[in-house]
Structure 1
Amino acid sequence: MQLERLIAALAPTDVVGDGALEIRELAYDAREVPRDSLFFCVPGAKADGHDFAAEALERGAAALVVERRLDLDAPQLVVPSVRAAMPRAAVEFFEDPTARLPVAAITGTNGKTTTAYLLWAILTAAGEQPGLLTNVERRVGSEVREVGLNTPESIDLQRLFSEMLEQGNRGCVMEATSMASAKGRLEGTRFAVLVFTNLTQDHLDFHGTMEEYFESKRRLFAQAGHTVVNVGDEYGARLAAELPDAMTFRPDDALPGVELKLAGRFNAENALAAAAAARALGIGEAAIKQGIEAVHRVPGRFERVDEGQLFTVLVDYAHTPGALETVLEAARELGPGGRLICVFGAGGDRDRAKRPLMGRVVAELADISLVTSDNPRSEDPAAIAAEVVDGLDLEVELDRRRAIERALDSAQAGDVVVIAGKGHEQGQEAGGRKVPFDDREVAREALRRLAAPT
């Protein structure tokens, strides 16, 4: 693509150099710059892309997008905001892929991943061959890829949409996060249908207030053709009042004739959301039934770990007060005569205000609780745990492996053990390192040891 086309799309305030050159790729990471690419000098909290412009040119960048002129011998497009320019350039460069690829997106605090899997299964049953973008995995054509950011940067996202079209996908199901919305990664993406699941406290370290958090979700609906809203949620009811054409549902609605294979009342809510989104896309009831009934598990979402033990073990991604409440209440229903045991922690470098709230939820709903390390990142695990405990009668075991082992050692027939916080994750982030750690595998190993003859 000629740089001149991108200049027209971005309308820069100043252009340095000649626009008559070929651009073969877009890039924003100086460590990964294909030859003849347009490099975006993105200012960040920890590093400024302008400082890496020379390196990007050395690696093969043909031109730069900047917020100020740099003393470099290269074409430069000066714009007010490089981050805001990225999605506009990406949509132009990849020829507006979501104009040809119907995208079904799910936004909300809880339920995004499971709803996405259910909707993906429904569309698959309908023969739509959809792609999938979740925080568990990405599916492009027949290829399954690992996940980086929950919602990719705008350039990567538009590239993925373009690749889906090339690989024969006829649609895409994705999670749309508040962080991606606030950072503009979803600008230019057309949503054939957008689903709102719920809103509970999370990410206030980034958004500041619940209203700002809500606004980051709300603004996405201007990009949607069809909308689906859970009006059983306080914020969903507010949103639906602004969207007169929205398709709505409530948690106590029914799906007649559909046998949900996923445990937990909240998964019935997720199924209702997926079914409503499918109907908005014109999918028939037979495919809705077939798709929902085909989903037996979602990785790290109320996922059972079964080694033949006489008690139930569940691994779940719940890492907010609202999600913990939902999961623990559902877990209690699975073992009404037994005890409810919970292993949980709070992530480091994330919303601190939710930590004591998480502790209170678990203290109220679980019979036995172990506060442990989640992903402490740069923080002191003991300090995080202290904020979670906040004066409550909660036991602390900072070694997550040992906490899981202790919980399973103490479990008796009929009990339910919930290992919360990390779900599908296969690593633990601490002190600048990420070490292999999978709650499900740790639980399996511990259960096998318990079952081994002594």
Structure 2
Amino acid sequence: MNLKKILKEIKYELLKGNDDLEIREIQYDSRNVKSGDLFVCIEGYSTDGHKYVSSAVSNGAAAVICSKDIENLTECTVIKTEDTRKVLALASANYYDHPSDKLKVIGITGTNGKTTSTFMMKSILEAQGYKVGLLGTIANYVGDKKIPAHRTTPESLELQKLFAEMVEEGVNYCIMEVSSHSLYLDRVYGVKFCQAIFTNLTRDHLDFHKTFENYYNAKLILFKNTLSSVVNIDDEYGERVYEDSEGKKTSYAIDKVADVKGSNLHMHSRGVEFDITYKNETQHINLNIPGKYNVMNALGSAAACLGEGMSLATVKEGLEAMLCVPGRCEIVTKNYDLGYEVIVDYAHTPDGLENILKTAREFTKGKLISVFGCGGDRDNTKRPIMGKIGTELSDKAVITSDNPRTEDPMSIIKEVVAGVEKDNYIVVENRREAIKKAMEMAKKDDVIVVAGKGHEDYQILKDKTIHFDEREVIAEIIKELNK
């Protein structure tokens, strides 16, 4: 594609060379550059693309877009702009012929509930007969095609490419998790959302955002770029989002008066039943995932679909058709007669851990046993809070390692233990051994919650990443214990 066409409606200064040339592909990683490519220098969380211009040029870059001065660059066209992240987003949209304009895009943001909500909404939309794409933490889906996901929200270049694949495959709706990082770093810049859902806001990612106010403001960006805002007003920050958002607004809640209202909740070990009311019509829902917070996820998903013109009957059909979400309150012992249950959940924040433990408590007839830890190289202020919550809400707790990354696992565990006020815990650093210890403790009617990793099938250690799928680990331990 011609460079001028790629840069259409983008303000730039041509410092050197010719902007009337053909470009093969756009790249922001110098290692991927080939002859004839356009290299866009973007600043990341830990590095800066401007440092790798010479590498990109050596690999054959025909043009470079920068926001900083670059010396001794004589081999290619050089273009300067104020904000290369926004330029990458706009140039990528131009390159792929603005695919998101040919889709209905629904974005979901919040600390917890994004992944489950995307799967719920996908099920509702499919019940209506639509072909659906999904972008999120577990994987990306183009219709039925599953593509590995490397981050919650892809970088703008990959995002536009995925949009283009969806258009080619005849997808009607794209539902996507929109992380605070992606909003702050302009990965979704220029994308117009037909619906934006706010789930909740609790402590997370302060290593990146530094303050809770920055975190809130990053989330709010989504609601400045949507036709319709769907907001959980049971959440205190949701009330604020509702006031701060623009355009059409739809509220949902259980405890407050709202446009979409959940009521008459009845919890059981394999799910939850509740009533949903919208415009004086009520449907009874039998959801196959337990927990009040999953009712909240269902209400938000329903509200967005209702806003797209679907009926409450279709919402019921779609929600009841969804059996589970990988790693989200997933009972992994359904096919075993152990006398106790083991639940795997992605909960890795104080609020997430509190939610899953309170949910499990509602259907635990015996003792509630938790296995949890905290990840390394992430916000360490939440560690003692997690320690307090995990032990307060469990009868027994096993504190262990969870993606320690470059940190010493025992140092992380000590910070978790610093918040503990009860003596109902043990420390087992090795995560597999910790899970096995919890299963050895379990008696009839007990429930074990293994929190933190959920759908992940790996452990990130200091010097390597190893395969670690907790469903497989638990199945192996069951065999070992039944020998």
Instruction: Calculate the TM-score normalised by the size of structure 2.
Output: 0.90
Matched, 1:450 2:446: no
Out of 263, 274, 277, the residue aligned to residue 304 of structure 2 is 277
Residue in 2 that maps onto 1:247: 250
Q: Secondary structure at the match of 2:32?
A: coil
User: Are the equivalent residues in 1 in contact too, given 2:197–2:300 (CA < 8 A)?
Assistant: yes
- The 8 Å contact of residues 371 and 385 in structure 1, kept in 2 or not, is answered as yes
CA distance in 1, matches of 2:385, 2:151: 26
Q: CA deviation at 1:34?
A: 4.4
Question: In the alignment, is residue 201 of structure 1 matched against residue 203 of structure 2?
Answer: yes
2:384–2:419 CA contact under 8 A, matched in 1? no
* Structure 1 outlier segments of 4+, above 4 Å: none
Q: State the match for 1:86 in structure 2.
A: 88
Does residue 345 of structure 2 align to residue 316 of structure 1? yes
Deviation (angstroms), 1:344: 0.2
CA distance in 2, matches of 1:219, 1:19: 32
Taking the aligned partners of 1:369 and 1:8, their CA distance within structure 2 comes to: 58
Alignment of 1:211-230 (within 5 A): 211-230=213-232
Given that 1:33 and 1:60 are in contact with CA atoms closer than 8 Å, whether structure 2 keeps it comes out as yes
Matched, 1:291 2:318: yes
Query: Does 2:389 align with 1:395?
Result: no
Asked whether 1:385 is paired with 2:435, we answer: no
CA separation of 1:359 and 1:342: change in aligned 2, threshold 3 A: same
Distance in 1, Cα, partners of 2:294 & 2:130: 23
Match of 1:344 in 2: 372
Report the secondary structure of 2:190's partner residue.
coil
Q: Which residue of 2 aligns with 1:264?
A: 291
Equivalent position of 1:120 in the other structure: 122
Whole-Å Cα distance in 2 between the matches of residues 34 and 117 of structure 1?
Answer: 37
CA offset at residue 299 of structure 1?
Answer: 0.3
Q: Is the Cα–Cα contact under 8 Å of residues 355 and 388 in structure 1 kept in the other structure? A: yes
Question: Could you list the per-position Cα deviations for residues 395-420 of structure 1 after superposition, in whole angstroms to 9, with x for gaps in the alignment?
Answer: 21110000000000100001010000
Q: Report how many aligned residue pairs link the two structures.
A: 451
1:408 correspondence with 2:439: yes
* 2:458 aligned partner, one-letter code: G
* Deviates most, 421-430 or 16-25: 16-25
The aligned counterpart of 2:72 is 71
Question: d(CA) in 2 for partners of 1:76 and 1:223?
Answer: 31
Bigger drift between 83-92 and 186-195 goes to 83-92
For 1:71 and 1:371, the matched residues in 2 are separated by: 54
1:163-201 Cα offsets, whole Å, 9 max, x none, are 110111111011000011111111111111000000010
Counterpart check, 1:16 vs 2:16: yes
**SS of match in other structure, 2:324:** coil
- Please give the residue correspondences for 1:1-80 in structure 2 after superposition, counting only pairs within 5 Å: 1-67=1-67, 68-72=69-73, 73-80=75-82
Give CA-to-partner distance per residue, 1:297-341, whole Å, 9 cap, x none.
100000011122101110000000101111000001121x31110
- Name which of 346, 350, 363 aligns with 2:391: 363
* TM-aligned CA deviation for residue 391 of structure 1: 5.4
Q: Deviations over 1:365-418 (max 9, x none)?
A: 001011100000011111110111105233211100000000001000010100
Q: Which amino acid aligns with 1:316?
A: D
Contact 1:193-1:277 within 8 A present in 2 as well:
yes
Q: Which amino acid is the alignment partner of residue 193 of structure 2?
A: F
Check whether the contact 1:7–1:77 (CA below 8 A) recurs between aligned residues: no
SS at match of 2:134: strand
Aligned to 1:152: 154
CA distance in 2, matches of 1:161, 1:391: 44
**Distance in 2 (alpha carbons) for counterparts of 1:125 and 1:132:** 15
Aligned to 1:353, the other structure's residue is in SS state helix
1:211 Cα deviation from its structure 2 partner: 1.3
Query: 1:45 offset after TM fit, Å?
Result: 4.5
Query: What residue in structure 1 maps to residue 135 of structure 2?
Result: 133
CA distance in 1 between partners of 2:377 and 2:244 (Å): 34
Deviation at 1:158, TM superposition (A): 1.1
CA pair 162-35 structure 1, distance change in 2 beyond 3 A:
farther
| Equivalent position SS for 2:64 | strand
Is the alpha carbon distance of 1:149 and 1:35 closer, same or farther for their aligned partners in structure 2, counting shifts above 3 Å?
A: farther
CA contact (8 A) 1:9 1:89 kept: no
Q: How far off its partner does 1:451 sit?
A: 2.8
CA distance in structure 2 between the aligned counterparts of 1:134 and 1:364, rounded to whole angstroms: 32
Match in the other structure for 1:333 = 362
Q: Residues 204 and 379 of structure 2 are in contact (CA less than 8 Å); yes or no, is this contact kept in structure 1?
A: yes
Checking the alignment, whether the CA contact within 8 Å between 1:374 and 1:421 is kept in structure 2 is yes
Q: Which is worse superposed, 39-48 or 404-413? A: 39-48
Gaps of 5+ in 2: 256-261, 263-274, 277-282
> Cα RMSD between the aligned structures?
1.5
Q: Do 1:99 and 1:190's aligned partners in 2 also have CA atoms closer than 8 Å?
A: yes
* CA–CA distance in structure 2, aligned partners of residues 209 and 51 of structure 1: 29
Structure 1 segments unaligned to the other structure (5+ residues): none
Which stretch has the larger CA shift, 258-267 or 127-136? 258-267
The question of whether the paired residues in 1 share the 8 Å contact of 2:328 and 2:344 is answered with: yes
Deviation at 1:83, TM superposition (A): 2.1
Q: More displaced, 368-377 or 79-88?
A: 79-88
SS in 2 for 1:31: helix
The corresponding residue for 2:269 is none
User: How many angstroms apart in 2 are the aligned matches of 1:48 and 1:259?
Assistant: 50
Mapped contact 1:7–1:19 kept (Cα < 8 A): no
Q: 1:46 and 1:195, CA in 2 relative to 1: closer, same or farther beyond 3 A?
A: closer
Counterpart CA distance in 1 for 2:347 and 2:65 is 40
Q: Distance in 1 between matches of 2:16 and 2:10?
A: 14
On the 8 A contact 2:324/2:330 being kept in 1, the answer is yes
Take 1:137 and 1:4, find their aligned partners in 2: how far apart are those partners? 34
Range 57-66 or range 294-303, more displaced: 57-66
Does the CA-based 8 Å contact 2:383-2:419 persist in structure 1?
Answer: no
Contact 1:66 1:79 in 2 (8 A): yes
The offset of 1:42, in angstroms, is: 2.0
Residue pair 1:14, 1:79 contacting (<8 A) in 2 also? no
